[in-house]
């Protein structure tokens, strides 16, 4: 297990830019948390999740922030 696998990290936008992709590839986080800023459409979300999974040597956790109430 690498130290990065203990981390769950956010994603800066709705798609991965080359610098962020390289950082995630090197760090190998154990998972990712997605927020409203990351989701524009079902197809875009599918591509983002596929891209995150492709960068990982292990199957990462993919989580979504959901607080309920007025925030949702």
Q: What is the pLDDT of residues 1-57, one digit of tens each?
A: 888 999 999 999 999 999 999 999 999 999 999 999 999 999 999 999 999 999 999
The sign of the dihedral angle between the CA atoms of 39, 43, 45, 51 is negative
Shortest CA distance to 10 belongs to which of 30, 32, 31, 40? Answer: 32
pTM higher than the cut 0.85: yes
Q: Give the residue extent of every domain in the chain.
A: 9-18+29-66
Measured between alpha carbons, how far apart are the two ends of the chain, in Å?
35
């Amino acid at each position: 297990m690498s130290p990065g696998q203990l981390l769950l990290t956010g994603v800066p936008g709705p798609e991965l830019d080359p610098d962020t992709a390289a950082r995630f590839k090197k760090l190998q986080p154990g998972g990712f948390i997605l927020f409203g800023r990351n989701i524009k459409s079902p197809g875009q979300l599918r591509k983002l999740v596929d891209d995150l999974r492709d960068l990982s040597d292990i199957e990462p956790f993919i989580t979504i922030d959901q607080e309920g109430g007025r925030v949702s």
